[in-house]
Each structure stands twice: as C-alpha cells, then as structure tokens.
Amino acid sequence: MTLSPTPGLAQAILTVGVVLVLAFPLGTYIARIMDGGRSPFERLLGPFERMLLAACGVPRPSDAAGGGQTWRGYASSVLLFSAAGLLVTYAIQRVQWILPNNPAGLGAVTPDSALNTAISFVTNTNWQGYAGETTMSYATQMLALCTQNFVSAAVGIGVMAALARGIRNARSVDLGSFWRDLIRSTVHVLLPLSALLAIVLVSQGVVQTLGPYADVTLVEPITAADGTVTTTQTLPLGPAASQIAIKQLGTNGGGYFNVNSAHPFENPTPLSNLLETASILLLPAALCCSFGVWVRDRRQGFAILAAMSVLLILALAGMWISESHGVPALAALGVDVPTAMEGKETRFGVPASVLWGAFTTAASNGSVNAMHDSFTPIAGGIAMLLMQLGEVVFGGVGSGLYGMILFVLVTVFVSGLMVGRTPEYLRKKIGPFEMKMAAIALLAPSAMVLIGTAVASSLEATAAAAPNPGPHGFSEILYAFSSASNNNGSAFGGISANTPFWNMALGTCMFVGRFWVIVPVLAIAGSLGRKGTVAPSIGTLPTHTPLFVGLLIAVVLIVGVLTFVPALALGPVVEQLRLQTGGVS
C-alpha cells in the first residue's frame, strides 16, 4: 500500500507558493537596503543603526558601495568579526553558571562542546551535540546563540552583496564596507522579519518567557519497573520564539530544545509548521531576486532561482516516492505502510516531515521536525546529497547563492572551452584566477566530508559513536561530516557526537566549510571588480536562458554526484538494496 500523493502535493505547492510570492518583493527590498536605500523602518531603527555604525567607526553614506573596502580588507573584516564572535560565544558558555537568567541552575558547558558550539553558530552551521534545555541557560541562548543566529546570517548576505558589486563594478576595487553591510542587513532585514515571525509563532503557542521551568501534574501517573510512581513532570521553558524565528529565517537551524521543531513548544500547530517550513527558503530565494537587481539584469537572478527550484523539486520527488512506498520488509510482515510512523511527526503526517527534510537539507538550515535517521535509505541519501552538492540548492542566506554562482562560473568556463572562446559572465572575462578560486571553494568542503568520514570510520573508538551496524551506521557518520562541512547542521540522529574527537573533528569541518569558501569568493569579487567590461558578441553564451539553466543543473549534479557516488554506495544505496531483498541493514 502506498500513500496518497494529494495531501503531500498540496502542502508542497502551498509552501513553495508562499516562498515564491514573497521572494520578488523581499529581494527587491534587500537589494535597495544593501545599496544604501531608505528603509521603511528608518524612523524606528535608524537611531539604532547609526549607533552601531558609530561604534564601528563607519560613516553612513547614501551609497553603501562608496568608501568601502578591497576584497582583502573585506575578508579581513569577516575573519576578525567571526573570530571575536567565536571567543565571546565560547566564553559565555563557559561562565554561564555565574550569569543571570539561569533558572535551572545549569553549570558551565564542557570546553570541547563549548568550542564546537561556538564554531557551529559563528559559521551559520548550528550543529548541536548537546540538548539545549539541559545544557544552555536562558542567558546563553539569548546572548550567545541567538545573537550569532543574526550576525552569521548577516555575514552571508554581506559577502553575497560584495560579490555582486565585484561583478557589477568596472575597474574598481571597492566592494563596499563589511561593517555597513553587516549592520544594515541585520537592522533593516533580519530584525523586522524575525520580530514579525516571532509574534506570529507566539500566537500559535510557541513559548517565550524568562520564567523558570514549570512542574506540572501528570494526567496519568507513571509507574517504573521498581515500583516508583512519578506524578509530576518538569517542562522546560524559555525565550524560544525569538530564537526560532531567526533560526528559520537565517538558515541557522539550531533548536532551542533538543528535538528541534519536532518539539510542541517550538512548533505547535499546522500554521506554525507551514510558516517555519516556508521561512527556511524565503531569504535564499529572495536573494536570487536581489542578485538580479544588483547586476542590473533581473533575468540572471531568475535563471539561478529556476535552477535551484528544479533541483529541489527533483530531490523532493525522489524523497516522497521513497517514503510513500515504505520498506518492503515491513510490508511483508503485514505492517500497513502509511501507519509506519516511527521517527515521523505524528501531528503533521509523513508529507510535512518529508517536505521539511528536503527544504532543510536543500538550504543550509538543518532544523528538523522528524528524525532523518528514520527516513528510508534512499530518502536519507537524497537529503545527504543535497548537502554534498555544496548547499547550493537555495543553500544558506547569501552562502547558497554565492556557492551557486561558483558553479555558474564553472559552467560558463566549460562552455567557453567547448566552443573555443574565452568564457564570459555578465560582461566579465573569466580567467584562470577565478577558476582556481572557484575550485578551492567547491572542493574544500567535499574533501573535508570524505577525509573526515574515512578517518572516523577507520577508528574503532569513534566509529562506535554510531551504534547502528553496517551501512546505516556508515550513513550516520557520512551524514554528520556532510552536514558539518557544508554548514548545514542537521544530524541523522542516533550518533553520539558530543565527545572530544567528534567536537574537534566536526568543528574543523565547519570552519573550513565556511571560511575556505568565503575568502575565495571575495577574491573572485575583487578580481572581477578590477576588470573592465566587454561588449556581448555573437559568441557570448547567454546565461539567462533555459539552455543555460539546464547546463548549470548538469554541472552541479556531475560535480556533486561523481564526488560522492562511492560513499553513497557504501551507505544508503547498499542499505536500500538490502531492505528491498528483506535483509537487515
């Protein structure tokens, strides 16, 4: 028996529709804001923005691209700011036991976990090896984690804006000011959107309080095996809605509670589920439209948005087909497939779980409303592949788009070689330097995935962190390194990764996956900005046509799939084959 496609299809159409309807006006607004345009929140937020700019020693010109930095200056500012954020986030976790707003009396976070978490949130990965409600105090959640949710997303927007300026400029090394980009995107984009979403989430029942954890009486007392009767339960509370709003909009994904958006205090109703799912892709889709405005050719943004959308639809279809057919071994035992809900979100059904799973791994969000460990092997493998492609199928806020533009440069370079012409993109010649930087940015995360998985799988002590035997255990390890290296942050579940080895190994992968991409991207922006423009000719490859969209999709799939086919074959592929034949994974 298979699941009816109607409910899942309706949910997918509604959610994607919400994203696409809002993407164009929001993208146009972001482009205007980042180029120094006036914000509708100027009267309310303008004084706050000016205070922050003054604190950074940055003037506020009418044009955000004026009086800015070279690519080296911009990159240095990104690294300096991120290093400072890492130190502060680490320190807050280590001293949280003496800070206020700690009603549960939680102690200091262990050094290796605190370092892993600091790297995770600074890099917009938000991998969590801990349970939030039993590890992090209210102060830590607000001052450290929620703050990084805002600024790490703002860094991605700023880097993307700098790349667009480099493409748009002619013989100019000015990419704009990182500090101005950081502050304007935070104050005029992320803050208003998050405040609005947080208010709606609170109206749906998402908790938002500084009060202590609540002790409630159980409707049915629980009797343990030794005869002990439990009549009360402690409910963890806290300022969750404010963090959940930006975790979704900023493609951060770090849950306030351990089970993330499968927790009823994070995601209580079908409306909250719809809004949180749509929020994952909203800003990545909007920034595609912003890119078209920045480079003065909206068709370029729409072409990239179309390529991302096609890849997402293919992945979503594959995951849904696999989940709808379930596991043949269970069917042979007489289990009704649509009721095999282990690991799925029973409040919303399998369709919402699959839809969220595809969205969160297509974007570098990483939040979950179901256990990906419980997906069928093929569905889990597709989720892994979406991350392994480089988080460019929408991807993170800003980071997904500049990652896809790297693939665009590879596509025009290969196409130019095929016809014997120097490749061009938006009237700029693409030379060896740009291709070297693109190769570093595209291959560094992939190398970390494969090297990390090989090392962890070969060490008996670390491999034991994945308690499942055979290919499924390997998939858990592969998923962890795919998630960390590509700054996603989701986990298969089941793997015990809060140990010194895993915290250090995954922390290293998160660092490389973020900054070994950002620095080459800014180097490309600086190189393109110094170049003059060339007039289009009969041999120029149009980069806004359906043909180019198809070429771009092919390049993304070829690079991603060929890189990871052997690893995927050892994990989800062989596990699916064993399940098909009634074997044990």
Question: Tens of pLDDT along 369-421?
Answer: 988 888 889 999 999 999 999 999 999 999 999 999 999 999 999 988 887 77
Q: Is pLDDT larger for residue 345 or for residue 430? A: 430
Over residues 100-119, the pLDDT tens digits come to 999 999 999 999 999 999 99
Please name the residues in contact with 550: beta carbons below 8 A apart, sequence gap of 6 or more: none
In this structure, what DSSP letter does residue 110 have? P
- Flag whether 421 is in a domain: yes
- Flag whether 548 is in a domain: yes
Give the largest CA-CA distance in the chain.
84
- Flag whether 498 is in a domain: yes
Neighbours of 313 (CB within 10 A): 14
**Rounded Cα distance, 581 and 268, in Å:** 39
**Rounded Cα distance, 255 and 247, in Å:** 8
- The DSSP result for 147-188, as a single string, is HHHHHHHHHHHHHHHHHHHHHH-SS------HHHHHHHHIII
- Flag whether 417 is in a domain: yes
Which residue is it, tokens 């120029």? 540
Q: Which helix (H) or strand (E) holds 223?
A: strand 214-223
- Flag whether 224 is in a domain: no
Cα four-point dihedral sign 40, 42, 48, 51: positive
**Rounded Cα distance, 303 and 309, in Å:** 10
**Rounded Cα distance, 338 and 328, in Å:** 12
Over residues 438-469, the pLDDT tens digits come to 999 999 999 999 999 999 998 887 777 777 77
Q: How many domains does the chain have?
A: 1
Q: Which residues pair with 217 in a beta bridge?
A: 232
- Contact of 433 with 533, CB cutoff 8 Å: no
- Flag whether 435 is in a domain: yes
Residue 66 has pLDDT above 70, yes or no: no
| Helix ranges restricted to H, 333-431 | 350-362, 377-388, 399-419
- Flag whether 91 is in a domain: no
β-pair type (424-425, 229-235) = unpaired
Q: What is the pLDDT of residue 495?
A: 81
Over residues 153-171, the pLDDT tens digits come to 999 999 999 999 999 998 9
- Flag whether 191 is in a domain: no
In this structure, what DSSP letter does residue 493 have? S
- Contact of 350 with 338, CB cutoff 8 Å: yes
Over residues 269-291, the pLDDT tens digits come to 999 999 999 999 999 999 999 99
**Rounded Cα distance, 161 and 159, in Å:** 5
Closest CA to 244 of 214, 278, 207: 207
- Contact of 284 with 397, CB cutoff 8 Å: yes
Could you tell me the pTM of the whole model?
A: 0.94
Q: Which domain holds residue 402?
A: 397-580
Q: What is the pLDDT of residue 294?
A: 96
Residue 513 has pLDDT above 90, yes or no: yes
Residue 534 has pLDDT above 50, yes or no: yes
**What is the C-alpha R_g of the chain?**
23
**Rounded Cα distance, 360 and 278, in Å:** 10
